[in-house]
Structure 1
């Protein structure tokens, strides 16, 4: 089908464009000093996204956009059955799907068997644009099935689903990027969307910080459901990223990452008191940038 071809082209173009842009900005304005060699990590993280893409193509040939077309033709789903104007259905679908992704992310942390797979994403010791692609193929498969269910249930317009998929992918790379966004800009942007500094908190080894800032696109869900923490307890330069029990060099390798979900249960992590203050600084954030 012509649309399938153009959809693939547009998504690939957007993916490459955002990835290259974020990689360049990271190189020019890094936020944190790297712990590990980038070429090894990037081989693993990019290797995972290739495996994920092949897996999804095999299991879900038409994916979410194709399902949206099918549901529209069959009259299935809330918006297809109620005659809501197309523009309103598209806008509401985007917001609903974003909320669905928030719920999914919370579930991957709260349900042990889902955490076993999702922890592959959290095992990365550095956070950069490639981290936004670091997901185990099992998690990606479950995620696509989950989105398809929501698209069918609400009868989301195909264009809205397509735009949501592009934005979700772009935001995943944006909010994992390792670049120094000026604090005044960050403060304004995070009132609406998730910023790199906001999401970095979620990758802390401290459990109360890992169990916060679940949003990918819109920041409203974390504020609404009280899962928002403004800044890491030890500051962005003092915090440790990754899993507390996996600080060895294993997570940077592809085979290790593919096998990690089958390597035992998640150990209990130390709980810390929740940080309620919506402050934009921690003491270590006032230190000079690494290397300066």
Structure 2
């Protein structure tokens, strides 16, 4: 258990440091908000999320897997498959579970109130991949715990999945742009920065697409894939229209209380009132 914690933390810090260095050397976009304001909010949420996880599941999700194994409960504990195959199948299944969790958080208004904290970031960089409200983190832990129990996920699969999930979130939110010769084949397998930037577009139909975190196959398989934003990668506007002012998308108290406050009203355009597409 102790080795698992250090391995996860070490890999997380390594990937985060590498992506932040890459962003600093070859940034793709200029942030419309001061870096220290965004980072103070985003990294504060990381701390809150980590504390939430530690309070809810002190020993980690591995205890759920151990309990399921002892009770011989769950699909993979019942089906005779080699251990390596069980690990591989479990990692893939958990990635699919997170894809559907993500879609549900976009569809259910109450859950969207939590998830919009993530989308309210007006810029994308490695820190955005960590910007999730602690209540969303708690609900996600519950979803993953239930999935691990019902599937009978091996402990090793949980370790691999958590490392891959965290690394993917940091990687595909990073403020970089891959060359086309690498971007094109890579996004057929995993979620790239250009693919995920579409998900953070202010255009609602684009926000409601490209839900994948690691593997990109789920969006194609379940018909939620958008290949390119209408405005192109360089032209799309990031964030949420309702949170386009610096004082309502950054700040520790702002991001913590965002789910419990009314959506800020937009100034109506000259040709009429804006259509409120989400509640």
| Aligned length in residues | 267
- Provide TM-score, normalisation by structure 2: 0.93
Partner Cα distance (2:30, 2:235) in 1: 11
Query: Could you give the per-residue CA deviations for residues 82-101 of structure 1, whole angstroms, max 9, x where no partner exists?
Result: 22221111111111111100
Partner Cα distance (1:208, 1:161) in 2: 33
CA contact (8 A) 2:242 2:263 kept: no
Q: How does 1:125-274 map to 2 (within 5 A)?
A: 125-249=122-246, 250-264=248-262, 268-269=276-277
**C-alpha deviation, 1:265, in angstroms:** 5.8
Query: Could you give the per-residue CA deviations for residues 138-184 of structure 1, whole angstroms, max 9, x where no partner exists?
Result: 00000001000000000011001110011000000000000121111
Match in the other structure for 2:67 = 70
Match in the other structure for 2:268 = none
Residue in structure 1 matching 2:86, options 82, 89, 97: 89
Partner Cα distance (2:263, 2:28) in 1: 33
Partner Cα distance (1:25, 1:154) in 2: 37
Residue in structure 2 matching 1:119, options 116, 119, 131: 116
Match in the other structure for 1:276 = none
Name stretches of at least 5 consecutive residues in structure 2 with no aligned partner.
265-274
**C-alpha deviation, 1:269, in angstroms:** 3.1
Report which stretch shifted further, 126-135 or 78-87: 78-87
Extract structure 1 runs of 4+ deviating beyond 2 A: 264-270
CA contact (8 A) 1:63 1:148 kept: no
- Provide TM-score, normalisation by structure 1: 0.89
**C-alpha deviation, 1:109, in angstroms:** 0.3
Partner Cα distance (2:208, 2:34) in 1: 28
Q: How does 1:28-67 map to 2 (within 5 A)?
A: 28-67=25-64
Counterparts in 2 of 1:230 and 1:84: CA distance versus 1, 3 Å: same
Report which stretch shifted further, 64-73 or 45-54: 64-73
Match in the other structure for 1:20 = 17
Report which stretch shifted further, 73-82 or 118-127: 73-82
Report which stretch shifted further, 59-68 or 203-212: 59-68
Partner Cα distance (2:18, 2:67) in 1: 35
CA contact (8 A) 2:65 2:152 kept: yes
